[in-house]
Structure 1
Amino acid sequence: MKLSSGHDPKNYKAAPKLPTWQFASSDPTGGKLSFEREVAPSNGWHSFSRKGKVSVTGGSAATANRVYTVFNGQQLVAAINEAKNDPKIIRVVGHIDLRWSSNNTVFKEYTSFSDQKFGGSIMIPSNTTLVGINDAQGRPARFTGTTLLVGAELPLATGGDPKTDLTAWIASGKDGEDYPTWTRNIIIRNLVIDTPWDVNPEGSADAYADGMTLARAQNVWIDHITMSDGTDTPDSAASDTRHDGLLDIVRGSDYVTLSNNYFTRHHKTTLIGNGDADRAWGDDGRFHVTLFGNWWDNLQARLPLNRFGQVHIFNNYITGSTSTKDSDLKFMSGSDARYHSNQLLQNNYYSFSGLKLSDACGKVITGKDYTGFRSSGHLFVSDKIDVGLNIPAGTVTAWDGQCGMTAPTGANVWTPPYSFTLAATSSVPASVQANSGGGKLK
């Protein structure tokens, strides 16, 4: 019998078990801090708010009793519960998976959708620096079977309604920036995150759990993270979809930067804004997001898919294949400008197999119902001969990527308010491959 929620128990399928785990019980640094107290640079949207320039410090000001080193999920949750919204630094060593308990000695798979939803996520509160510490073998800390949540769309009090409360707050003349339920001032760095396998999805194409979700989160810097489905738990191990978003920024989140990250082997990569007009009450005017220095490698879609907001995408490296027979790696679509989005793309490098430049528009870059779109300075290379454009295979070609889409006009024209270095596009592949992903910070 199908449940009213749509999560039919017959669709239950446990995640494929990992052949090895990288549990740790000691800190190879002996507790010595290195990059953990670093504050975010001011080179992205994370360093602003509607009230002007801000400094994203995370937990850099943490007192000694608010610096934690954790080796399992229970220790991580305990550190968060103790520190609450105090500035805190949480150093993760080894492997975190909420299915493991008793100091990583007892494993219990999620038994249902509800079990995974309520028992498989960790909420990161305000004023937090969460970082991975490379273990004795040099491997960055890793999350599996666990969703990281930064913020949530909450009412002002238990039993209230988020939409009613926020709209009433603004209607009374109060500044939305001061709404009390925001989660703010977050730094997350140097981690490997495997997107959780949904043991009981709602439908054949609709999984639930993201690798990381930002909801009503503001002033967030996510840097040097590796995210994928993991080579041991791909969607192809089931007959339906078992993973949702890799890293989604939704429900009014704002002033966020994703830098120097490595995203690979996943379908729905990054959603910025998860609704059209029905979400305008909480999303309109929000979603200021910067994405730079990231490597999007062998992903299927959403690089990103964006609604509302002003999104700046520069100096990223995008690699993929439209001809591969591996369904977990086949490229379907890239940057997707949707309802009321306003994107600025600059100096990205696109390297593809099976896709020629004359077919890139509508595939690599597409959009509809957006407010404005600007694109320039890219390079494109493919292993496929482009007869129509007279481009031999393997030729690096300049590409503006505008794809017939219209630029913003009037009040919709915007310029990034922060200082940033726009590197030569030709330098992007080597630089991004050398610097992106977890394990690069020590």
Structure 2
Amino acid sequence: MVLIIQEQMVKEVPSSTAGIYATWSRLKETAHSLTTMLTEEVGPRGLLYLRQREYAVTNPMHDENLLILGTDDATTSVMAVLRHTGSSAVGLAHFDKCSHDECLSGVHICSHDDGVAHLLNRVNELSLGYTEGRLELCVVGGFNDNRAMCEKVTLSLLNAFHKAHAHIQLALLCTGEMNTTIRGNVSWPLVKGIGVQTHSGKIFPATFTDKGPYLTLRSTRVFTGAQQMVDVYDCALGLLRIGPFNYEPHAGVELLLQQSDEVILQCLSTTPEVEGPTWVKMVREVLKHIKEHPFPAVTIFPDNRPHYFRRDSLGQWIAAELPNNNDSTPDANVQAAVQAVAGATVASTGAWTQSIGVTTTSAPPTSVAPPSPWGTAVPPRYGSLHLDCRLKTQLTVPPVVNHHYDDSLLNPVKDRFMPAWQASQL
């Protein structure tokens, strides 16, 4: 349907966030109120922390486990809160750039539309039967960066909500000029993280002392180019779910691990001037994880099922038994990876031995050629690289050759990466 701002239906989203603020001045007031609030430090109890390209939805009327939804590290990304005022169902999503102008003619077009649709559908599902109330949207994050990346992400997201099949009231927009300050002649975001109180819907600036389980693994989805927004929380069971997902081995990992912190910061960050002090450490952990687990479909998700976590009596996340549901539907790409990498190998005796060590004398399975890690077409759902944007196998050329800023591991900014790579060849 349409976005609604200050009780006025929007015919078309303006072409700039400055234009939005100029047309609806009350949005500047609510944004200023948020940026002047004190930042709260949130502990682990009752918290569900989200990474980029993750979302979660709950209804506090039926979910006593979750008190706060939170996310941070929003520099060139945007955090969106969608809440139904009648049912109190609330969702938080962390969007970043997930489409490429260079690849729009390919088969892997991805935009914010799907992520917005999933978030909206989930909130509506938890609001069935409530005839009173409305949908309210709050968008926070992004600033006046020198490449206007935040502007593109924010406008893309607002247009996606504008096209959604619902009337959505834009209650808060804190981005661009209203979320920018100047520190040492450098533009800097005022709010990079938010918490959302699930019962009241209150939004506040936040940092987080504990970001939950498998944080490095979850970060690999972003750094290896996974495009889809994923729902990581089952509010009916109070379970955090992670995976399954797969990516390909990456030739550039070893080279990047050899670089200095400054090179990693300049190569892999979209906004190196404003990253936090622990950002490079996190990236190194992600790179090491990718190096140690080049085939996560085999080493981490061998049964193609999610890993589940629940809260214990102290409010900490602990591993949980897999529920009996349909989340483990096999994916053809993951199955192919398992067969190719961990499948049976033919022994010299004519018997064949499975990777788990069970030997049988029955006929060997049909030989399946392992996929080439550097050029085969990968279905978009689990493809870590765009189909025309592959890493090169030969290290006589730079292992990363494209300008796709949102795939920060796969495609660092070329002009930043080249000096580091050239120095490594001396």
Q: Pick the TM interval, shorter chain.
A: under 0.3
Q: Greater strand share, 1 or 2?
A: 1
State TM-score, norm by structure 1.
Answer: 0.26
Max Rg structure: 2
State TM-score, norm by structure 2.
Answer: 0.27
